[in-house]
């Protein structure tokens, strides 16, 4: 049985090395679709896994980025913003949609133990990356 769950978060970022448009500070409503593949039988209630049980584990991870400025830890702005005591989330990679999807997938897999098999991360209404590792 496969279950799809949708989440979203709002965040600012920039990807300085990805060209002028992406290099400017800007924000997105990130839409996140998580796909879980369960192998166990349905329980007595006819349920694989309660949607609310998935939410309780995944939402804290996704919402942890909501209304934050996400920056690559090596971005020169990090030093300035820390000097100004501005709150940011530093990440160990450029904050491309591709990297963000891999990061979220890995965190959900490792921190929840839920059988996530695919993640879709949309930065805009027309642009989505899909990460679906073989195993
Ligand atoms: Zn962007």
DSSP code string of the chain: -EEEEEEEEEEEE--GGG-HHHHS-EEEEEEEEEEEE--SPP-TTS-SS-HHHHHHHHHHHHHTTTTEEEEETT-THHHHHHHTT---EEESS---HHHHHHHHHHHHHHHH---EEEEEEEEETTEEEEE----
Predicted confidence band at 132 (pLDDT cuts at 50, 70, 90)? very high
pTM of the model: 0.95
pLDDT digits (tens, 9 = 90+) for 15-60: 988 888 899 999 999 999 999 999 989 999 999 999 999 999 999 9
Quote the ligand 1 centre to 96 CA distance (angstroms). Answer: 7
Quote the ligand 1 centre to 26 CA distance (angstroms). Answer: 6
**88 pLDDT higher than 90:** yes
């Amino acid at each position: 049985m496969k279950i799809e769950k949708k989440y979203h978060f709002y965040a600012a970022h920039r990807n300085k090395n990805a060209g002028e448009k992406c290099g400017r500070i800007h924000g997105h409503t990130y839409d996140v679709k998580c796909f879980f593949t369960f192998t166990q039988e349905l329980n007595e209630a006819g349920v694989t896994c309660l949607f609310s049980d998935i939410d309780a584990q995944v939402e804290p991870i996704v919402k942890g980025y909501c209304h934050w400025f996400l920056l690559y830890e090596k971005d020169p702005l990090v030093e300035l913003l820390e000097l100004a005591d501005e709150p940011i989330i530093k990440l160990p990679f450029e904050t491309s949609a591709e990297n963000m999807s891999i990061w979220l997938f890995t965190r959900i897999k490792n921190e929840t133990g839920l059988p996530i098999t695919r993640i879709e991360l949309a930065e805009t209404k027309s642009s989505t990356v899909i990460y679906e590792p073989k195993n």
